[in-house]
Structure 1
Amino acid sequence: MGIEITEATPERVVGRMPVEGNVQLYGVLHGGASCVLAETLGSTGASLHAGAGRMAVGVEISATHHRPAGSGHVTGVATLLHGGRTLATYDIEITDDQGRRVCTSRLTCMLRDV
């Protein structure tokens, strides 16, 4: 997938992914690849929020695909919406190199002891 995380705190995780190599039949970014980026960023934040000796397990993801991305990279920003003891929810905004929104996703992770 080529995902590179550039910033990571429990409140905000930022990462990018190339479009090339992650396309569907028509040569644009595959919607599943957007979901992989979103879940990677959100679950990273949830794991940081959970802390040592605990883990985050994705229980629900949704994604709305707004526009195609045909080249370059997409950048995702996961922002903590709810950080509780047993659940963490992140809003993930994915944009293209021109700053246009490609996908909006929401991820909820269950937090549990390892």
Structure 2
Amino acid sequence: MQLASDASWLGGFAERTGFAVTAASPEEVVLEWDVRPEHHQPYGIVHGGVYCSAIETAASIAGAVWFGERGQVVGVNNNTDFLRAVTDGHLSARATPLHRGRSQQLWQVAITDDQGRLVARGQVRLQNLSR
């Protein structure tokens, strides 16, 4: 499986955010990025949509890796909690499974800053679309 330099995991929107996949297995996906000014909302902190996007991206890649050749996965729900304001630095999103079933999966994702502090957390429900 190809990782961080393989843009096929990201494409389009996620690639433009600066996200990089640094680990991908059926048990965990890690997504990392450096905070840039274009990630900020008007008050100079990271926009909540960036966290939602990172959580959705990490969970979707993780679910796709686990589901593999059986088909595709699509997100059907994303719940994100914002816990700490960030203005700059390096962020990491780690997705781990809560449930992986025949028709759906549920992944939890924790976003931490470069000091290991929890910045945001979320979960994504994915629908498995069999071939």
> Into which bin does the TM-score normalised by the smaller protein fall?
over 0.9
The AA in structure 2 aligned to 1:31 is G
Q: 3-state DSSP class of the match of 1:16?
A: strand
Structure 1 residue 109 displacement after superposition? 0.3
SS of 1:50's equivalent in the other structure is: helix
The answer for unaligned runs of 5 or more in structure 2 is 1-16
RMSD: 1.0
Matching residue of 1:32: 49
User: In the alignment, which residue of structure 2 is the partner of 1:106?
Assistant: 123
Partner of 1:89: 106
Letter in 2 for 1:16: E
- Counterpart check, 1:65 vs 2:82: yes
Q: CA deviation at 1:5?
A: 0.5
The runs of 4+ residues in structure 1 deviating greater than 4 Å are none
On the 8 A contact 1:5/1:15 being kept in 2, the answer is yes
Find the residue that maps to 1:109 and give its secondary structure.
strand
Q: Choose between structure 1 and 2: higher helix proportion.
A: 2
Find 1:80's aligned residue among 81, 88, 97: 97
Q: Using the TM superposition, give the Cα deviation of residue 6 of structure 1 relative to its aligned residue in structure 2, in angstroms.
A: 0.2
The runs of 5 or more residues in structure 1 that have no matched partner are none
Q: TM-score, structure 1 length as denominator?
A: 0.95
CA distance in 1, matches of 2:49, 2:32: 15
Write the letter of the residue equivalent to 2:123.
R
Contact 1:17 1:37 in 2 (8 A): no
- The residue matched to 1:46 in structure 2 has which SS? helix
SS at match of 1:25: coil
- 1:96 CA drift (Å): 0.8
Bigger relative contact order, structure 1 or 2, given CA contacts below 8 A and separation 6+?
1
Deviates more, 1:45-54 or 1:56-65: 45-54
Cα pair 1:7 1:14 within 8 Å, conserved: yes
